[in-house]
Amino acid sequence: MQRTVLLTGASRGIGRSIARQLLIDGHRLSLGLRDPEALRGTDLDVEDVAHYPYDAREPASAEAWVEGTLRQWGGIDTLIHCAGLLHRTPLLFADGEEHELDDLWTINVKGPWWLTRAAWPSLVSSGHGRIQVLVSMSGKRVKGRMAGYPVSKFALMGLCQSMRNEGWDQGIRVTAICPSWVNTDMARAVTAVEPAAMTQPSDLASLSCSLLSLPNASVPFELAMNCSLET
């Protein structure tokens, strides 16, 4: 079944890998981008891929993106949240770093919340809506001294649970995808795990697309993976 997918974070990393695999699998894509020209002339600049301006900080851009996609294709049955922000803000952050907490909350929690709200009526009307959210293992446990990022991801996991409860009877199924380190630009500073030993974006793309082929009764709520053993 061909799906019409709203996808954030497709300019690079995990989001871009998922977008490529979705296109290979025959789905239509509506990509929300801070710079809609960023993918012009690439393999994601083809007939079944639309590019719309989107800024997670601006709720109005979420509504405009959804409305534009509905005018173009008539419906939306899948929403995949890949955009996210990493700040290593500790519990005892320094004066002047408090804006990082607002950034993390806005991008990692409020952005997906606003976009989900805007797309919700179309997801419901499809009867087989799907929402996937790249949460991270940091939404399940806290390691080291980081505080701001995992707290935002714990909140995002709570948002996923609320989406699941709200949409269950309307056929909407939600999956929180929780990887540890993934070989992307966000993990470039990591030295404890070699890039080749990390989860690869293409592997997450395969998992994401496989989930879309499952019937309502078989969609997992949580998909957790770790590239290293934690005790």
For residue 54, indicate whether it is catalytic: no
State pLDDT tens for residues 126-165: 999 999 999 999 999 999 999 999 999 999 999 999 999 9
State pLDDT tens for residues 19-33: 999 999 999 999 999
Q: Which domains are delineated in the chain?
A: 4-224 (3.40.50.720)
In the set 54, 113, 114, 149, the catalytic residue is: 149
Which residues, at least 6 apart from 198, have a Cβ–Cβ distance to it below 8 Å?
180, 181, 182, 183, 187, 190, 227
